[in-house]
Amino acid sequence: MTPDDWTAIRLTAQLAGLTTVLLLIAGTPLAWWLARTRSVFKPVAASLVAMPLVLPPTVIGFYLLLLMGPQGPVGQLTQSLGLGRLPFTFAGLVVASVLYSMPFVVQPLQQAFEAIPERMLEAAATLRAGPWDRFFSVALPLARPGLLTASVLGFAHTVGEFGVVLMIGGNIPGSTRVLSVAVYDHVEAAAFDDAHRLAAGLVAFALVVLVALYAVNRPARAVGADEHDGTQGRAP
């Protein structure tokens, strides 16, 4: 692989790691609210979170360009704060990745929070545990599988992004040229051997991530059944 390819790998890992951390920070309270609220605005909020699942990445990228461009409200705000423009920068990639990967983090967390028995939170409340205490000492430990799933899916999905990152970041080596864009560059230049190395690496990464995720989240009942069957098989 070329030095630019190694730079793209490093940049992709940095982008995916930072995006996952930001999504967990912002997505955990949002998922908790969606799991617990009875507000009439819940369907609207849940739909906004899920929109990246159904919208083409280019559509999301286009509107983000308008928002973060020099004439957009976000672009004018960042320029007035002395932060410059976000499009075609690593910071712009982070913003786009957070928005585009949000459902892959929020939805597993929401499902994990919804699966927590209400009686356990009520029992904690009877022991004078406040809302924050119940959340950190009861809800988060019980939602640990959902946190793991959300982290893995958020990271993996960010690694595989193409349309959004190309629209927002362009193709600047060392700054916004991530792995998916590097594969596209090699194919466009008919450098199929280089494209194959990167593409095969992404396929292997995706397979390992999914196998590990399914293995970790394997239902305890199935594991217990397998152990029981194995014990019976060894019995004289």
The pLDDT of residue 222 is above 60: no
Query: Which DSSP helix (H) or strand (E) runs through 232?
Result: helix 220-234
pTM for the full predicted model: 0.84
Give the per-residue pLDDT at 14.
95
| Mean pLDDT in residue range 199-213 | 89
The pLDDT of residue 137 is above 60: yes
Q: What's the mean pLDDT when you consider all of the chain?
A: 87
| Mean pLDDT in residue range 128-132 | 79
Task: Report d(CA 27, CA 115) in Å as an integer.
Answer: 17
Helix, strand or coil, per DSSP, at residue 128: coil
Segment 141-185, tens digit of pLDDT? 888 888 999 999 999 999 989 989 999 988 888 889 999 999 999
Task: Give the chain's domains with CATH numbers.
Answer: 3-230 (1.10.3720.10)
Percent of the chain's residues with pLDDT above 70: 92
Give the per-residue pLDDT at 219.
62
96 compared with 232, residue with greater pLDDT: 96
The pLDDT of residue 95 is above 60: yes
Closest CA to 170 of 71, 55, 93, 75: 93
Task: Report d(CA 34, CA 77) in Å as an integer.
Answer: 29
Query: Which DSSP helix (H) or strand (E) runs through 74?
Result: helix 73-80
